[in-house]
Each structure stands twice: as structure tokens, then as C-alpha cells.
Structure 1
Amino acid sequence: MSILAQTEAAAGFSIVWILIMLVALYFMMIRPQQKETKRKNAMLSELAVGDTVLTTSGFYGMVIDITEDTVIMEFGNNKNCRIPMQKAAIAMVEKPEDAVEKESK
């Protein structure tokens, strides 16, 4: 076997490993991130006035008003504590119907 044939075989082997690594990268990093982005976009598109939300900073509040990219939140029992924030700061949404079902169980 000549040196040229050995070099070509090594190059082919390297290309196969690079392709395997790229496929693994896609399934381990890129695809889960895309799924999470779709889930969050669906959650924010279903956001409605009266929903209880958890923000990324850990605050629970109720949605009072919704605009294109911001929401006005009411925090705590004080009805005067209303704060505008970006929709992107919402981590979790709980619909009022979900809260009633949890209480009845």
C-alpha cells in the first residue's frame, strides 16, 4: 500500500468522523434549542389577560394588559403595583382554568 493510498484512507476516515460529530452536535444542541424556542413562542402567543405568570427573575404576577412585545403585570395583593415588562421575561404561564382544576383536586 502506497503512502498516497494511506493518506486518502486517513482523509476519508477523518471526514466520516467530522460528519458523525456534526450530526451529534445537531441532535444534542441545536434541535433541543429549536424545540424550546417553539415551545416558548407558543406559550407567549397564547398569553391572555388574567393569566398568572412566573417571570425569569422569579416573580409571580397577573397579566393586566398585553401589547405587541410588552405586558403590564400586577404583583402581589396591592392593586397599585403594576409594572410593564417585556414578554421575553416570562418563563411560565398558568391559565386561570388550570388553577381552578388544581384547587379542586
Structure 2
Amino acid sequence: MGLLLTADSAAQGNMLVIVAIYAVLFGFLYFVMIRPQRKEQKQKAQTLASLAVGDSVRTTGGFVGVILDITDDMVIVEFGNNKNCRIPMYKEAIVEVEKPEDAIATESSDKDSKKESKKK
């Protein structure tokens, strides 16, 4: 009878180890996969909420254009130099947004760095 009780307690000990391993594994997966994905979703939602007319956008198809009009879940984007190429699309199709102020700041910093390199 004593041998039977010892075997049961050993099985419970092994079960606790297995549960602990699964808990650690789930915690690791949460911090490696789920948490960064939620952070990225929040950032994308914030970016889409801050869209404005005149912003330059890149779509999931790789097209680059300028926003002309915005509704609740749709935008009208003008592509290329042809002023007649205006396409309505869902906001979710936008991958990257560049504000006009960002483009000006980037250009001015590029010019400054070129001037400094010419002086040297």
C-alpha cells in the first residue's frame, strides 16, 4: 500500500512540472508574439486616425499617391501625375503615411548634410 501512495505523489509532482512548463511557454509566446502584434495594431489605428488631406500614402499594392478626400472608412487617393487617376479605397489598404511637414523636414536635413560634406 505504501508503494502505491509513493507512485501517486510522484505522478502529481510530474504533473505540476508539466503545468509549470506550459505556463512559462505561454508567457514566452505572449511577450514574443501577441504583445508586439497588439502594439503594431494600435500604432496602425493611430496612423489611420491621423490621416489628413494632402498626406502622401503608400498602399498595400505599392502605389504611392496623395489623399484628396476622407470619409469614415474610405479615402480618395490621386495617383501619379495624371490628375484624372483618383481611386477610392479603404483606409486599411494604406501601409505608410508621410505628412507634408515630414517630407519638408527630411529634404532640408538632406540638404544640410550635403552642404556639410561639400565643405569638408
**Range into which the TM-score falls when normalised by the shorter chain:** over 0.9
Structure 1 residue 81 corresponds to structure 2 residue 85: yes
Displacement of 1:6 in angstroms is: 0.8
- Match of 1:54? 58
> Where does residue 23 of structure 1 map in the other structure?
27
Residue 11 (str. 1) matches residue 21 (str. 2): no
Q: Counterpart amino acid of 1:82?
A: R
Aligned length: 105
| Deviation for aligned residue 1:40 | 0.0
TM-score (norm 1): 0.97
More helix by share: 2
Name which one, 1 or 2, has greater alpha-carbon Rg. Answer: 2
Question: For 1:39 and 1:31, how far apart are their aligned partners in 2?
Answer: 13
Aligned-pair identity in percent equals 51
Question: Gaps (5+ residues) in structure 1?
Answer: none
Code of the aligned partner of 2:97? V
Distance in 2 separating the partners of 1:49 and 1:41 = 17
Cα drift, residue 25 of structure 1: 1.2
AA paired with 2:51?
L
- The aligned amino acid for 2:50 is E
**Aligned equivalent of 1:66:** 70
CA RMSD of aligned residues (A): 0.9
Q: Distance in 1 between matches of 2:26 and 2:69?
A: 44
Task: Measure how far apart 1:72 and its partner are.
Answer: 0.2
Task: Answer yes or no: is 1:99 the counterpart of 2:87.
Answer: no
Q: Which of structure 1's runs of 4+ aligned residues deviate more than 6 A?
A: none
SS in 2 for 1:79: coil
Q: TM-score, normalised by structure 2?
A: 0.85
Structure with the larger RCO, 1 or 2 (CA within 8 Å, 6+ apart)? 1
